[in-house]
Chains A and B, each alone.
Chain A
């Protein structure tokens, strides 16, 4: 019987070609939109994930403030950690090494152009740790600064060509707060614009510039064993809070950071996917519409079927199979179109974005889309199928 239902459905599609094509087109548009939009979200999530992975899974970021009520503002303006804290952190068992950073916004002059820009201070003594061992920063051209160096600067990848009119090259000289700095290197992209447009100088130099004594914005720690990173993070928090008071310090491990990012992206994808799904509801209404017309056109046929012994269930099945096939067909074509759109986005983005980006369609998304289109097809078919099943054979036969 199922087989026959399929044959009847196929016959109907052929018979009402235009109507079937337009009905399927609705589902195609809906599914293609969902896949195209979500592929962007997944792609961004993956490129960020790669950037985080590059940092390694054994890092802990230590900042002042509590994570809950921190709009980022508190952590960035506090500077309440100090060099001593770095020593304390290094003294905690399980910590391999720790290094501090200080962020400031300062005026930078290059080639008679002045811009206000982020400047990050990293201890020269620990520069090797950041650049070589922690691999938080990787040199693209030139070299990093070393212990004892002063008035040397390393540029973020975007700083090179995005901050000033003229490109800033290795060997050039620029002025930070009227102090002369020589550019000795630039970095590979860190995966986000804000970090990439930074300029990096030694901690000693930046403290000289801003008059800060031994304050730090943030401390990075590396643990010797990734398995107990969470307990080490807790220990660090406890130790520092013993000193500064409760709720004054937050730590974030690489894993927590990745989780937070995933959480944000899932929410955004969920909202955008949800809005795009409204199109699927409309497409479902379209299927219902087509099915009602189909039931009406075939009233006589249904009457005949019933007269020769077809049960209500048989009739329902015929129409449900038809509507499910409309949905599924739309789903399959929509997925193909969506994959094409994702590919197009990747091509377009590759040229315009600086970072590696690939719109990604996961297997889960494809399966979900198939399921979704099938479900929409079936649900849309329920009412028309019921109407068909309820027709009285005698009246149906009489219908003109």
Chain B
């Protein structure tokens, strides 16, 4: 019976070609829109995760917990004692502190404000060799208690001043001369890469920051234990400063948090695009009603020779779900092409690694959605068909 219904449906779809094509086209447009928009959302999620993963999944970032992204950078309550405390926790291989500031700087008569990151010279060995976040590409790193020297982030070489900075140049930071002694490899983070790194003590002197820190980064080689270690660090800081004041997050957790924002955005955009699918569903219902009307006589004959109400409903439901599925398959394909195109365009235009991604869940979800829309849109027309009285239907 199912097979016969299928054959009947295909016949009917072929018979009314223009109608079928236009009906399917509605679903195609809807699914294409949903899939390509969500693939953009997934793409941003991917690009953030790659950037964070580049810092290594064995890191824990400790910073102030307040007020979103900005709050963390404004809070400078951590201090050198906290580095020692974190360093002492079981499972932590090394911990380093950093202080983020934006300060005026001048190079060859050009002055501007740029980010400076302070790192303790006594930690230099840990920072530049052990952590594997800040790795020297050219030149050297700080010696113990060295002053007046600066290391450039990868992008700071070209992007900060009009003129390119090179090792040996002197930059005036807040009026104090710093000689450039090294350049870092990329840290996969735009802000860090465009910063200048100077000895912590000097940055603290220049900015009146006593012994405060913006962030402590800890390295935990044992990935199985890293979340426990992060919890432990947070506990210790809670005891010291009060509940919920500082947050220790693993790279993985940060990636998930940021990723979830993009998940929400792509969900909202996908939702708005789904309105098109509702409209397409109304279109299927319309086509099905027309189909029922055109085949009233046919239905009468079928019922007269013994087709049950369920048989008749099945015929029309299969037809409408076929319309939905066909639209879903084609829409998925067009959506895939469109997202490829977006990747090509975005690669040239965006400064971050980006590619649109269509997950298996999205593809399956899209197909299911299109079938469901087809079935729901078919229910009323199919019931109308099933309820026809054979005698009345034949008389038409």
The answer to whether A290 touches B71, judged by C-beta atoms less than 8 angstroms apart, is no
**Interface-forming stretch among B2-10, B217-225, B239-247, B253-261?**
B239-247
CB distance from A99 to the nearest CB of B (A): 20
Across the interface, B280 reaches (CB within 8 A) one of A109, A115, A276, A282, namely A282
A246-282 interface mask toward B, CB cutoff 8 Å, 1 = contact, 0 = none? Answer: 1110000000000000000000000010011011011
A2-36 interface mask toward B, CB cutoff 8 Å, 1 = contact, 0 = none? Answer: 00000000000000001100110110011001000
Q: How far is the CA of A197 from the CA of B100 in the complex (A)?
A: 24
Is A228 on the interface with B (CB-CB < 8 A)? Answer: no
Is B361 on the interface with A (CB-CB < 8 A)? Answer: no
| Interface size of A in residues (CB-CB distance below 8 Å) | 61
Across the interface, A26 reaches (CB within 8 A) one of B68, B106, B282, namely B282
Is A321 on the interface with B (CB-CB < 8 A)? Answer: no
Known contacts A22-B289, A245-B106, A282-B29: A77-B100 contact under CB 8 Å: yes
Q: How far is the CA of A194 from the CA of B242 in the complex (A)?
A: 22
Give the residues in chain A near B113, CB-CB below 8 Å.
64-66, 74, 78, 80, 247-248
Q: How far is the CA of A22 from the CA of B278 in the complex (A)?
A: 12
CB distance from A327 to the nearest CB of B (A): 13
Is B283 on the interface with A (CB-CB < 8 A)? Answer: yes
Q: How far is the CA of A254 from the CA of B245 in the complex (A)?
A: 35
CB distance from A174 to the nearest CB of B (A): 13
Q: How far is the CA of A286 from the CA of B243 in the complex (A)?
A: 59
Q: How far is the CA of A104 from the CA of B75 in the complex (A)?
A: 7
Q: How far is the CA of A351 from the CA of B25 in the complex (A)?
A: 41
Q: How far is the CA of A26 from the CA of B174 in the complex (A)?
A: 63
Give the residues in chain B near A244, CB-CB below 8 Å.
104, 111
The answer to whether A114 touches B243, judged by C-beta atoms less than 8 angstroms apart, is yes
Q: How far is the CA of A104 from the CA of B65 in the complex (A)?
A: 13
The answer to whether A66 touches B241, judged by C-beta atoms less than 8 angstroms apart, is no
The answer to whether B111 touches A33, judged by C-beta atoms less than 8 angstroms apart, is no
The answer to whether A290 touches B286, judged by C-beta atoms less than 8 angstroms apart, is yes
**Interface-forming stretch among B15-23, B145-153, B299-307?**
B15-23
The answer to whether A109 touches B242, judged by C-beta atoms less than 8 angstroms apart, is yes
The answer to whether B73 touches A279, judged by C-beta atoms less than 8 angstroms apart, is no
Within 8 A of A (CB), among B45-91: 64-68, 70-71, 73-77
Within 8 A of A (CB), among B92-106: 100-104, 106
**Interface-forming stretch among A52-60, A209-217, A367-375?**
A209-217
The answer to whether A246 touches B111, judged by C-beta atoms less than 8 angstroms apart, is yes
Nearest A residue (CB) for B74:
A105
B342-354 interface mask toward A, CB cutoff 8 Å, 1 = contact, 0 = none? Answer: 0000000000000
Nearest A residue (CB) for B101:
A77
Q: How far is the CA of A65 from the CA of B115 in the complex (A)?
A: 10
Is B191 on the interface with A (CB-CB < 8 A)? Answer: yes
The answer to whether B275 touches A116, judged by C-beta atoms less than 8 angstroms apart, is no
Q: How far is the CA of A113 from the CA of B245 in the complex (A)?
A: 10
Known contacts A73-B115, A74-B113, A278-B273: A286-B286 contact under CB 8 Å: yes
Across the interface, A80 reaches (CB within 8 A) one of B65, B67, B103, B286, namely B103
Q: How far is the CA of A246 from the CA of B277 in the complex (A)?
A: 54
Across the interface, B75 reaches (CB within 8 A) one of A26, A105, A215, A289, namely A105
Give the residues in chain A near B104, CB-CB below 8 Å.
64, 80, 244-245, 248
Q: How far is the CA of A344 from the CA of B17 in the complex (A)?
A: 42
Is A355 on the interface with B (CB-CB < 8 A)? Answer: no
Is B133 on the interface with A (CB-CB < 8 A)? Answer: no
Is B37 on the interface with A (CB-CB < 8 A)? Answer: yes
Within 8 A of A (CB), among B274-303: 275-280, 282-283, 285-287, 289-290
The answer to whether B74 touches A118, judged by C-beta atoms less than 8 angstroms apart, is yes
Across the interface, B283 reaches (CB within 8 A) one of A113, A194, A276, A285, namely A285
Q: How far is the CA of A118 from the CA of B71 in the complex (A)?
A: 7
Give the residues in chain B near A26, CB-CB below 8 Å.
279, 282-283
Is B205 on the interface with A (CB-CB < 8 A)? Answer: no
Q: How far is the CA of A106 from the CA of B191 in the complex (A)?
A: 24
Q: How far is the CA of A293 from the CA of B20 in the complex (A)?
A: 11
Give the residues in chain A near B280, CB-CB below 8 Å.
282, 286
The answer to whether A105 touches B64, judged by C-beta atoms less than 8 angstroms apart, is yes
The answer to whether A292 touches B67, judged by C-beta atoms less than 8 angstroms apart, is no
Nearest B residue (CB) for A18:
B289
A116-160 interface mask toward B, CB cutoff 8 Å, 1 = contact, 0 = none? Answer: 111000000000000000000000000000000000000000000
Across the interface, A19 reaches (CB within 8 A) one of B208, B279, B290, namely B290
Is B12 on the interface with A (CB-CB < 8 A)? Answer: no
Is A320 on the interface with B (CB-CB < 8 A)? Answer: no
Nearest A residue (CB) for B278:
A29
The answer to whether A285 touches B74, judged by C-beta atoms less than 8 angstroms apart, is no
Q: How far is the CA of A283 from the CA of B281 in the complex (A)?
A: 10
Is B341 on the interface with A (CB-CB < 8 A)? Answer: no
CB distance from A72 to the nearest CB of B (A): 6
The answer to whether A292 touches B18, judged by C-beta atoms less than 8 angstroms apart, is yes
Known contacts A72-B70, A116-B71, A117-B67: A33-B19 contact under CB 8 Å: no
Q: How far is the CA of A5 from the CA of B162 in the complex (A)?
A: 69
The answer to whether A293 touches B242, judged by C-beta atoms less than 8 angstroms apart, is no
The answer to whether B245 touches A278, judged by C-beta atoms less than 8 angstroms apart, is no
Give the residues in chain B near A117, CB-CB below 8 Å.
66-67
Is A382 on the interface with B (CB-CB < 8 A)? Answer: no
Give the residues in chain A near B392, CB-CB below 8 Å.
none
Known contacts A66-B112, A281-B29, A290-B286: A275-B272 contact under CB 8 Å: yes
Across the interface, B22 reaches (CB within 8 A) one of A25, A30, A247, A289, namely A289
Across the interface, A245 reaches (CB within 8 A) one of B111, B208, B273, namely B111
The answer to whether B282 touches A246, judged by C-beta atoms less than 8 angstroms apart, is no
Known contacts A33-B272, A289-B23: A116-B77 contact under CB 8 Å: yes
Within 8 A of B (CB), among A167-221: 194, 197, 211-213, 215
Give the residues in chain B near A65, CB-CB below 8 Å.
102, 113
Q: How far is the CA of A275 from the CA of B76 in the complex (A)?
A: 42
Chain B CB count within 10 A is highest, among A103, A114, A293, for A293
Known contacts A72-B70, A105-B67, A116-B245: A278-B286 contact under CB 8 Å: no
Q: How far is the CA of A293 from the CA of B76 in the complex (A)?
A: 71
Is B33 on the interface with A (CB-CB < 8 A)? Answer: yes
Nearest A residue (CB) for B269:
A275
Across the interface, A105 reaches (CB within 8 A) one of B66, B101, B272, B286, namely B66
- B residues whose Cβ falls under 8 Å from a Cβ of A: 18-19, 22-23, 25-26, 29-30, 33, 37, 64-68, 70-71, 73-77, 100-104, 106, 110-115, 174, 191, 207-210, 241-246, 269, 272-273, 275-280, 282-283, 285-287, 289-290
9 pairs of A and B residues whose beta carbons are closest in the complex: A114-B242, A245-B111, A105-B75, A116-B66, A289-B22, A22-B286, A74-B102, A105-B74, A279-B276
Offer 21 A-B interface pairs, CB within 8 angstroms, sorted by A: A18-B286, A19-B290, A25-B282, A29-B275, A64-B102, A64-B104, A74-B115, A77-B100, A105-B74, A113-B243, A116-B67, A116-B245, A245-B112, A246-B110, A248-B111, A278-B29, A278-B273, A285-B283, A286-B279, A286-B280, A289-B287
19 more A-B contacts (CB under 8 A) besides A73-B70, A118-B67?
A18-B289, A26-B283, A33-B272, A33-B275, A76-B70, A78-B102, A80-B102, A105-B71, A105-B77, A106-B77, A109-B242, A117-B67, A194-B68, A197-B67, A212-B208, A278-B273, A285-B29, A288-B22, A293-B19
